[in-house]
Amino acid sequence: MAIKRIGVLTGGGDCPGLNPTIRAIVRKALKENIPVTGIRNGWKGLIEKDTVRLDLNSVSGILPKGGTILGTSRTNPYKEKGDLEKTKKNLSALKLDALIAIGGDDTLGAASKLFKEGLKIVGVPKTIDNDLSCTDFTFGFDTAVNIATEAIDRLHTTAESHHRIMVVEIMGRHAGWIATYAGLAGGADILLIPEIPIDMNEVCDIIKTRHERGKDFSIVVVAEGAKLKDRELVLKTEKKDAFGNVLLGGIGHTIGKELGERTGFETRVTVLGHIQRGGTPTAFDRVLATRFGVRAVELVLNGEFGQMVALKGNEIVSVPLEAAVGTLKTVDMRLYEIAKIFFG
């Protein structure tokens, strides 16, 4: 069928690179004389029929801006009764011949289900956690790593001056990609990630040994989803979002308190939190997002629905949405073994 109008939405947590993707989609579609409708606040906007017309003026100047001009939410179209029917009905009512969904595992998981129900959808991978399968990198990740690395660099000088242990809590719910990359780049002395349960005896031994050889400060990087051996996951609250995700946070303070008590060394904790999500995207993320956006429109024009754009090596390819969201991509243990060379 001929594509006469495309819809685009951004769902889940925001990250640098969303606006460059939107810009690329609009520019490419308009070049093909296809108008674009922006859907506000992710799946919530499609359920509530909340849209905005996107034209050249709409996307002018947004390339270096973080966040998303469309807004976002963690709304799940399969959560509340009647929302799925509204989603399908409104897609037709808005006369959208195809939909480009930009998001992470939750947003694209919903997109994969909707495709199976007959909706014409293409996915674009977005997450600072870099945990989506079938793509080497997601946009937003490089920016988050750069922000976290700069923070670690800055903490080095104050840690050394005051002879302290500095614990840095970094985002990473199920996968420790940001912590591993930033820890390697920032010269962290210990990396603690969700993929490997934390042995506090081993952590304390490494720090004590380091101090015994004359290094009277240490940098410990921990991903928010990291878990201590034989203990429950540290949470801010038991409340869950529409996709069943709990609110993580607090592992840094738990580690810091225990390190201080068991080693006797003065310890401080820094939680980077949403700082990693904000601000202008790096050049790498701007280019990757732009390439993803252009390729997504090409998939729509070719009728290749149920696909997600992906980076393989230096090529932009397409992969089935179902495969991309089926299994989380966790940290390559070969990379973590390299990081361990520098522990302590």
- The residues that are catalytic are 129
Tokens of 18: 């969303």
Give the C-alpha distances (Å, rounded to integers) separating 165 from 147, 148, 203, 225, 227: 20, 17, 12, 21, 20
Task: Please list the alpha-helical segments (H only) found in 217-332.
Answer: 251-263, 283-301, 321-326
Amino acid at residue number 290:
T
Contact indicator for 286, 292 with CB cutoff of 8 Å: no
Q: CA 340, CA 344: separation in Å to the nearest integer?
A: 9
Task: Please list the alpha-helical segments (H only) found in 75-233.
Answer: 83-93, 105-116, 141-162, 177-186, 200-212
Give the C-alpha distances (Å, rounded to integers) separating 104 from 72, 123, 127, 132, 139: 12, 9, 5, 7, 10
Nearest to 167 by CA among 250, 234, 246, 228: 250
Terminal-residue alpha carbon distance, the chain: 61
Q: CA 122, CA 251: separation in Å to the nearest integer?
A: 36
Contact indicator for 182, 221 with CB cutoff of 8 Å: yes
CA 20 to chain centre: 16
Task: Decide the pairing of beta strands 246-248 and 235-240.
Answer: antiparallel
Give the C-alpha distances (Å, rounded to integers) separating 107 from 12, 112, 199, 247, 278: 6, 9, 34, 17, 20
Helix-strand-coil split of the chain, %, nearest 5:
40, 20, 40
